[in-house]
Structure 1
Amino acid sequence: MAEDLASAVSTLYEQAELALIEKVTTALAEGLDSPLWAQMKLASIGHLRTAIEDIIAALQASAVPAIYEAVAQAYDRGSQAAVAELGALAPTVKAIPAGTQAVDRLAAALVQETGATHMRILRTGMDVYRQVIAEASSAPLLGATTRRDAAARALAKFADRGVTGFVDRTGRPWNLTSYTEMATRSAVGRAAVQAHTDRLAAAGVDLVLVSDAPEECSRCKPWEGTILTRDGAGGADTITVEHATEDGRMVEVRVAGSLPEARAAGLMHPNCRHSIAIYLPGVTRPRPKPPSRATYEQTQQQRYLERQVRAWKRRAAGAVDEDARKRANAKVREYQGRIRTLVAETGLPRKSHREQLATAR
């Protein structure tokens, strides 16, 4: 429901990361063959710091309104979905005021979370700059390689990993763009679900149905097609409730748990394909499961190949000479070929936008 909204925010951070790579590479490549190169680079370190601070200032000025817009749109979509589901059952639900407090709370939390990455951008840029100077200056003295080769190798490592050092609650490390996308997907997903359930709560609806999505992961599979209570402690149970359209008629409903319980177990994680819908006792019938085009593992393989395409494009952006750029572009074409083979064998759709890098600005 809100998957596309995260890209508007993550693209800004990808642009900032690319701008950082290009600034550092350009600053180091200038005068690389001069015998006074190291002294000149250390003397101009203040200029690089100013340039990186300008990148961060531009990022912050663009990211904050983009975050609020994404969360607000996600909340609105969730609300509209609930209104459409309720239909004639609760026409007055359309008059319920928008959840501005919920939007502000979720957006502010995301601004704080992503804002903490900004100082990491400055630190990474300065650390890499000094590291390349040190490696390029010392390598020729040891007879290992030329200064240009040493600088190119160090910059290629930087382009590969980008700005790193972000660890989620499970201990998994991320680079800047992936971390921001994950955090934003989580936030806009929460906004859409909260709006949806807020509207259902206002209409007195307590039961929801989890969709049955193709290529599901192991965390979501136990909850597919199940009926959940909108809130509460959870726990599977069979409850007796009134029929949705026939007064006085009671029906039994098997409840798998509560929505908070399912989400705590992993349902609706970032990149999750599942959604919820209103469940009307005695009326709602399970929808047939969409056919799977491939396994979950194959979808993850596709995402891995897409990341490799982007990684080699970053390396091309950070190349200090034309030969290195050509080698990086050849690797881009190699991984794109592997993606074409995978989608031909599985029937998965190729998502070319996930192979693209934003243009640094």
Structure 2
Amino acid sequence: MPVSPDLSEDLATAVADLYEAAEGVLIGKIRRALAEGLGSPVWAELKLAAVGNLQAAVQEVIAALQTDASGAIGQALAEAYDRGQQAAVAELGALGVGQAAAAAAALPTAPIVDRLAQAVIADTGPVYLRMLRASMDAYRDVVARAAAAPLLGAQTRRQAAQAALDDFASRGVKGFVDSRGRSWELRSYVEMAMRSATARASLEAHSDRLGAAGVELVMVSQAPEECPLCRPWERQILARTGAPGARDVQVEHATEDGEMVTVRVAGSLPEARAAGLHHPNCRHRVSAYLPGMSRIPAVQPSRGTYEDTQKQRYYERQIRKWKRLADAGMDEATVKARRARVREYQTRVRELVAETGLPRKRHREQLTTAR
């Protein structure tokens, strides 16, 4: 069957879920530590004296996360590569191609899996230090702002503590800045890194299997609501490897010995990926192109626009944000008001999917909690 980045999307999501759950645990620990004895006149002194206890608890959570995540990253990438191989074997076998046996021959897990796993683990290494620093900075900030509020007469201690804790819960653990200067929150950064890595693993595996079967041309699907980066490569034939650039090539018919077929190749697969095809969240599939047999897929009608999909993702992020803020609420009235905001954005999602026909992705509206 064809392969695409979303073939392994669930694997990337599972790893990102670990980080989100850990972040939720940290927010909960900070909230409970702050709420205890909030009415005491020496509350601030007690909270500052308890910094060491909280830091030890935070470090315990981070250590558990680091152990779980390292194993999960390696397993996810190995599974992604295996899925890519299986997709190629199933695709060629279903088409009745003689080379299917060659594609199905046992191949060892490619070194790329180990390289990708180590790269992701190294890339997320600074995460753990940032989590500790952000958690402790947030705790100290809450204590300082809450202690100063009664003196200033601007807020009650509870209101000030809630406002400071909200700042942390709203922004999460940040500090990841990409080449475009965008700052990423913890879960989004990890999920982006894992989607890129699992997509590459499954796509490379698919390509390796096709190469083992002697298939050197692939075809890109159309994906409705595509982004501008992918649009030039839709429904195009690409060389699996080789030089970039469009050209006509003479290749042998897939099933007729000695019969040559002229194929218009839009470029190479590495060239298309370098230009943006198969970016994180890309839904374009790649399948084997068999000269004289394969047909370019028909154009599919769009259910909305690319901008509509980005609006939906924004609403999903807001739902998750307000759920996280509800978890950080220090009193029932605050929690109730924030759950109302969750329902408000859920209504916006329902209206958008009803208007455009886009599928609703409820799993992207869920906030992962610790198991």
The two structures have a TM-score, normalised by structure 1, of 0.97
1:241 offset after TM fit, Å? Answer: 1.8
Render the CA deviation track for 1:121-167: whole Å, top value 9, x for unaligned: 10100111111111112222222211211111111121111111112
Kindly indicate whether residue 58 of structure 2 is the aligned counterpart of residue 52 of structure 1: yes
1:114 offset after TM fit, Å? Answer: 2.1
Counterpart in the other structure of 2:210: 200
d(CA) in 1 for partners of 2:226, 2:98: 32
1:100 offset after TM fit, Å? Answer: 4.1
Render the CA deviation track for 1:34-85: whole Å, top value 9, x for unaligned: 1111111110000110111111111112112211121111111110111122
Render the CA deviation track for 1:305-334: whole Å, top value 9, x for unaligned: 011010000001111111111111110111
d(CA) in 1 for partners of 2:236, 2:349: 34
Kindly indicate whether residue 318 of structure 2 is the aligned counterpart of residue 308 of structure 1: yes
d(CA) in 2 for partners of 1:232, 1:94: 24
Counterpart contact for 2:207–2:240, Cα < 8 Å: yes
Counterpart in the other structure of 2:178: 168
Which of 5, 9, 12 in structure 2 is aligned with 1:3? 9
Render the CA deviation track for 1:213-267: whole Å, top value 9, x for unaligned: 1111111001101111112231111222222222222221111111111111111
Counterpart contact for 2:78–2:109, Cα < 8 Å: no
Which of 181, 185, 191 in structure 1 is aligned with 2:191? 181
Gaps of 5+ in 1: none
Counterpart in the other structure of 2:46: 40
d(CA) in 1 for partners of 2:331, 2:243: 60
Q: Percent identity?
A: 61
Which of 224, 242, 247 in structure 2 is aligned with 1:232? 242
Kindly indicate whether residue 329 of structure 2 is the aligned counterpart of residue 319 of structure 1: yes
Kindly indicate whether residue 28 of structure 2 is the aligned counterpart of residue 22 of structure 1: yes
Gaps of 5+ in 2: 1-6
**Equivalent position amino acid for 2:201 in 1:** A
**Equivalent position amino acid for 1:226 in 2:** Q
Which of 94, 118, 122 in structure 1 is aligned with 2:104? 94
Matched residue of 2:218: which SS? strand
Counterpart in the other structure of 1:119: 129
d(CA) in 1 for partners of 2:216, 2:183: 38
Bigger mean CA offset, 210-219 vs 131-140: 131-140
Kindly indicate whether residue 83 of structure 2 is the aligned counterpart of residue 80 of structure 1: no
d(CA) in 2 for partners of 1:343, 1:274: 21
Counterpart contact for 2:102–2:212, Cα < 8 Å: no
Matched residue of 2:261: which SS? strand
| Residue-pair matches, total | 361
Counterpart in the other structure of 1:155: 165
**Equivalent position amino acid for 1:126 in 2:** M
Counterpart contact for 2:329–2:335, Cα < 8 Å: yes
1:98 offset after TM fit, Å? Answer: 2.9
Render the CA deviation track for 1:76-98: whole Å, top value 9, x for unaligned: 11101111222232112211313
Counterpart in the other structure of 1:263: 273
d(CA) in 2 for partners of 1:211, 1:167: 32
Which of 335, 344, 367 in structure 2 is aligned with 1:357? 367
d(CA) in 1 for partners of 2:349, 2:231: 26
Matched residue of 1:306: which SS? helix
Matched residue of 2:370: which SS? coil
Counterpart in the other structure of 2:141: 131
Matched residue of 2:8: which SS? coil
Matched residue of 1:252: which SS? strand
d(CA) in 1 for partners of 2:363, 2:119: 28
Once the two structures are superposed, the pairs formed by residues 263-302 of structure 1 within 5 Å of their partners are 263-302=273-312
d(CA) in 1 for partners of 2:233, 2:179: 22
Once the two structures are superposed, the pairs formed by residues 337-348 of structure 1 within 5 Å of their partners are 337-348=347-358
Matched residue of 1:189: which SS? helix
Counterpart in the other structure of 2:4: none
Render the CA deviation track for 1:171-220: whole Å, top value 9, x for unaligned: 32110011111111111000000000111112222111111111111110
Bigger mean CA offset, 258-267 vs 79-88: 79-88
Kindly indicate whether residue 77 of structure 2 is the aligned counterpart of residue 71 of structure 1: yes
Matched residue of 1:3: which SS? helix
Matched residue of 1:33: which SS? coil
The two structures have a TM-score, normalised by structure 2, of 0.94
d(CA) in 1 for partners of 2:315, 2:280: 19
1:341 offset after TM fit, Å? Answer: 1.0
Matched residue of 2:219: which SS? strand
Bigger mean CA offset, 73-82 vs 346-355: 346-355
**Equivalent position amino acid for 2:51 in 1:** I
1:277 offset after TM fit, Å? Answer: 0.6
Kindly indicate whether residue 257 of structure 2 is the aligned counterpart of residue 251 of structure 1: no
The alignment yields a C-alpha RMSD, in angstroms, of 1.3
d(CA) in 2 for partners of 1:289, 1:65: 41
d(CA) in 1 for partners of 2:90, 2:343: 45
